[in-house]
């Protein structure tokens, strides 16, 4: 079972937070799981395999008719967001196992989370189909791929930085082999009904034809002296070179991306992805 859930949060105080705050939200998520089940949190923390959740950064909610975003300041070369008391945010939590879905859905409204000095109150949990939220059975995802005979293109919209590694180096360009190799790893790590051979998946991905794309590389800093080189933008790939079985595999793996993310550090705000088929 897969789920995409939104928390609607309100800032209870005025404070600055780092522009990249994924690691801090990672800690908030573990506090949620720990409050639900200490045993579950410990097992989740100890696993060295792909962790079955992804987290977005805080997303500002517009105020009235005005487009509202973060107020940015800089200090010692790093960017910070200035949060005001009463500011509202969405926080997306994507989950790939049923136990975690229960843990996230059962948090009482009014609960306050601490993101360092920022206090955030939970006002609403959204998982009703609006805002691209909801729960999806694995069988539904697979059935959709098998019935998508009309699909000839897939677009990846990376809504947060996506990061890969090539040997010991950051790799800031999302090649099809890196995208689908990553998704094959994630698919195989969560006990899906079928498994994919990663080498075969990468061979298939190499047949995808890049078409329209836009984006840029960016260095995302975790601290003043540490960061990851990443990419943010959109990629559109044609599947015209693929056989039917190869197309089904690509659609199946791409359909997992909104839940599992793409690339590294998806539990800390990287690799958030929207998919469009045409």
Q: Write down all domains in the chain, each with its CATH number in brackets.
A: 2-132 (3.30.70.1890), 137-277 (3.30.70.1900)
pLDDT of residue 76: 66
Q: What is the pLDDT of residue 108?
A: 97
| 165 touches 264 (CB < 8 A) | yes
Whole-number Å distance between alpha carbons of 47 and 49: 5
Q: Residue 180: its pLDDT value, please?
A: 97
Confidence at residue 147, expressed as pLDDT on a 0 to 100 scale: 86
Residues pairing with 233 in the sheet: 158, 215
pTM to 2 decimal places: 0.92
Residue 66 is predicted with a pLDDT of 52
Tell me whether strands 2-11 and 134-136 are parallel, antiparallel or unpaired: antiparallel
**Contact between residue 161 and residue 230 where contact means Cβ atoms under 8 Å apart:** yes
pLDDT tens-digit series, residues 227-242: 889 999 999 999 999 9
pLDDT at 168: 87
- In the prediction, which pLDDT does 64 show? 63
For the chain, residues with pLDDT lower than 70 are 48, 64-69, 76-77, 223-224
In the structure, how many helices (H) and strands (E) does the chain have? 7, 16
8 Å CB contact between 278 and 176? no
Beta-sheet strands, E only, within the chain? 2-11, 15-18, 53-55, 59-60, 71-75, 78-83, 88-95, 112-115, 118-126, 134-136, 153-162, 164-166, 169-171, 209-223, 226-238, 273-277
């Amino acid at each position: 079972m897969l789920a995409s859930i939104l928390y609607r949060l309100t800032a209870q105080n005025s404070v600055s937070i780092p522009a990249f705050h994924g690691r801090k939200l990672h800690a908030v998520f573990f506090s949620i799981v720990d409050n639900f089940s200490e045993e579950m949190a410990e097992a989740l923390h100890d696993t060295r395999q792909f962790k079955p959740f992804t987290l977005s950064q805080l997303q500002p909610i517009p105020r009235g008719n005005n487009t509202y975003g973060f107020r940015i300041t800089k200090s010692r070369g790093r960017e910070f967001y200035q949060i005001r008391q009463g500011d509202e945010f969405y926080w997306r939590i994507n989950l790939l196992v049923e136990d975690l879905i229960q843990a996230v859905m059962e948090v009482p409204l009014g609960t306050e989370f601490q993101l360092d000095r920022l206090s955030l109150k939970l006002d609403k949990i959204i998982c009703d189909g609006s805002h691209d939220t909801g729960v999806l059975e694995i069988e539904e995802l697979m059935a959709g791929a098998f019935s998508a005979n009309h699909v000839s293109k897939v677009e990846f919209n990376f809504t947060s930085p996506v990061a890969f590694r090539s040997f010991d180096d950051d790799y800031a360009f999302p090649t099809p082999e890196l995208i689908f190799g990553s998704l094959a790893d994630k698919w195989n790590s969560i006990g899906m009904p079928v498994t994919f051979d990663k080498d075969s998946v990468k061979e298939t991905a190499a047949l995808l034809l890049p078409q329209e794309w836009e984006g840029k590389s960016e260095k995302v800093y975790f601290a003043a002296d540490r960061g990851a080189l990443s990419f943010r933008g959109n990629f559109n790939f044609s599947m015209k070179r693929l056989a039917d079985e190869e197309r089904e595999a690509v659609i199946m793996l791409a359909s997992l991306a909104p839940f599992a993310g793409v690339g590294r550090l998806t539990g800390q705000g990287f690799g958030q992805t929207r998919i469009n088929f045409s």
